[in-house]
């Protein structure tokens, strides 16, 4: 049991989502074989997911009893999604969106350069050199050694 008097930002929402996931897993385990017998394939998944539901209900009860921590959305942004994580999440989203158009090599090079320059904050040439070196190593390992076909992209 937590010794904190207040809930952390997003804690109640997370526990509710965890309960919904546990209930969905319990339903999926019932669909495996139902309650037809103790030796059916769905018994262990039903026990495990049922334990998840009961545990999550207990955690939800304890969490709901604690007072909110205050400062609402601003505290949530500060603690749960700081600027560095938000920027990296945005860079990953751009990586996923740009991959089909530009292909693996160009998109990965841009992603590596942007993320290294944002996180490391060194001069342009050093960041570009490190990005090119890392991309070359990745390319050699996957394309040459393991012979993985890397996406080429539709624009080039």
Give the start-to-end residue ranges of the domains of the chain: 6-78, 82-145
Q: What is the pTM of this model?
A: 0.63
CB neighbour burial string for 77-108, b if at least 16 within 10 angstroms, e if fewer = eeeeeeeeeeeeeebeeebeebbeebbbbbbb
* pLDDT of the chain, 156 residues: tens digit per residue: 445 688 888 899 999 999 999 999 999 999 987 777 777 888 899 999 999 999 999 999 999 999 887 777 777 777 878 889 999 999 999 999 999 999 999 999 999 999 999 999 999 999 999 999 999 999 999 999 999 999 999 997
């Amino acid at each position: 049991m937590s010794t904190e008097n207040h809930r952390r930002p997003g804690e109640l929402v997370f526990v509710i989502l965890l309960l919904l996931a546990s209930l969905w897993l319990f339903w999926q385990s019932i669909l495996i074989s139902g309650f037809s017998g103790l030796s059916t394939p769905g018994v262990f998944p039903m026990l495990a997911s049922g334990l998840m539901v009961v545990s999550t209900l207990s955690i939800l009860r304890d969490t709901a009893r604690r007072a909110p921590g205050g400062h609402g959305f601003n505290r949530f942004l500060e603690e749960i999604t700081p600027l560095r994580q938000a920027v990296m999440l945005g860079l990953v989203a751009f990586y996923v969106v740009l991959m089909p158009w530009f292909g693996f090599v160009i998109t990965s090079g841009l992603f590596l350069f942007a993320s290294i320059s944002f996180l490391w904050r060194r001069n342009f040439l050093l960041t570009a050199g490190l990005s090119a070196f890392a991309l070359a190593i990745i390319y050699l390992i996957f394309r040459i050694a393991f012979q993985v076909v890397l996406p080429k992209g539709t624009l080039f």
